[in-house]
Amino acid sequence: MISSMTGFSFGEKDTKFGNLVIEIKTLNSRYCELQLKLGDDIRVYESQIREIVLGSISRGKIDCRIFLKSNEAALNYRKFDEKEIKALINSTEKISALIKNPSLIDPIEIFKLSGNNNQAIDSSKLKKTLLSALPKALQKIITDRQREGRNISKVILSNIKLIEKLIGQTKKIMPEAIKIHQVKINKKFKEALINLENDRLKQEVLIFMQKSDITEEIDRLESHLKELKRLLVLKEPVGKKMDFLMQEFNREANTLGSKAISVDISRISVELKVIIEQIREQIQNIE
C-alpha cells in the first residue's frame, strides 16, 4: 500500500501542567527532512522525539511543533511576584501606546506571562504523557497519508490501463503498416522504371523492418507496467523506485516515436509520453 507524503495532524491533550500541543505537517521532498520546534519544557526530549518521528516517516519534509500551552488550571493564583506583574503591565501599556486601536489587556493573560506561576513540572510524568501522545499523533498523519496514497494508486492504475490500451493498438497497427510500406517501395521502384526483383523487394522490406522494429520497446513497456503494478501493492516506501521506473518508461516512449513508421504510431508515442508524465506527477507525492 503506497502512502502520500502530504498530511497534517493537530491535537491538544489537557494535563495538569497545561495543554500539550502536538502539530505535525508533512510535505513533498526528495529526502527526509525533519524540522522540530519544541517548547522550553519539551526541548530536553528532542533526541527521543526525533527518533520516534523518523521511525514512523521515512520520506518528506516534516514540520513538527510540540509545546505546553498554559491553562488556568495550571496556574497558582495565590503565588505571584508583584514586581514582575507590575513590570509586565508597564511593558504591555507601552506596547499598547504604539498601537492605533489596541485591544483590552486580559489580566489572566498577563498572569500567564509571569515566569514563576506555573506549577512545578514533574519531568517523568511529562515525558510519559509526551511519549504516549506523540505516536498517536503520528498514527493519525500516517492514516491520512495512506488514505491519500490509495487515491493516488487509483489514478495510476487508471493510467496503466490507458498505456495497456495504447500498446494493444500499436501491436495491431504494425503488421498493416509494414504491408503499406512494402506497397510504397514497390510503387517507387516502378515509377523509377527499375525492374524490381522479388528478392530485392524482400531485402528492402527486411531492412525497413529491422530499422522500425519496436518489439523490444513494446516488451520493455509491458515489463515496466508489471513492475509498476507490483510496487503499488508493496507496504514499504516505493516513491524513489517508481520515479526511476518512470524514466525508463519515458525512454521507451521516445524510442517508439523515433522508430514510428506511421502517423498512428507517432500519435501513440505522444499519447504515451503525456500519460507517463501524468503518472510521474502523481509519483512525486509518494513516500
pLDDT computed for residue 19 by the predictor = 86
Work out whether the CA dihedral 138, 140, 144, 149 comes out positive or negative: positive
Q: In what order do the strands lie in the sheet with 60-69?
A: 7-15, 18-27, 60-69, 32-38
Give tens-digit pLDDT for 94-109. 777 767 666 666 655 6
Contact 42, 130 (CB under 8 A): yes
Give the pLDDT confidence score for residue 256 in this predicted structure: 87
Q: In Å, how far are 63, 138, 245 from 240, measured between CA atoms? A: 21, 22, 9
Reported as a single tens digit per residue, the pLDDT across 164-189 is 999 999 888 877 776 766 666 666 65
- Mean local confidence (pLDDT), 212-224: 86
The pLDDT mean for the chain works out to 82
The dihedral sign for the CA sequence 98, 99, 104, 105: negative
In the structure grid, which three cell numbers stand for residue 130, read together?
Answer: 509526551
pLDDT of 88 reads 67
| Whether the Cβ atoms of residue 129 and residue 18 lie closer than 8 Å to each other | no
Please state the pTM of the whole predicted model: 0.72
- Mean pLDDT over 85-90 rounds to 71
pLDDT at 212 over 90: no
Q: Tell me, what's the pLDDT at 235?
A: 87
CA distance 127 to 114: 24
What H or E segment, with its residue span, contains residue 20?
strand 18-27
pLDDT band at 263 (very low <50, low <70, confident <90, very high): confident
Rg (the chain; Cα; Å)? 33
C-alpha cell recorded at residue 133: 501522545
pLDDT of residue 210: 56
Q: What is the pLDDT of residues 112-155, one digit of tens each?
A: 555 554 455 667 888 889 999 999 999 999 999 999 999 999 99
Cβ-count burial of 60 within 10 angstroms (0-12 exposed, 13-18 middle, 19+ buried)? buried
Residue in 45, 17, 65 with CA at minimum distance from that of residue 127 = 45
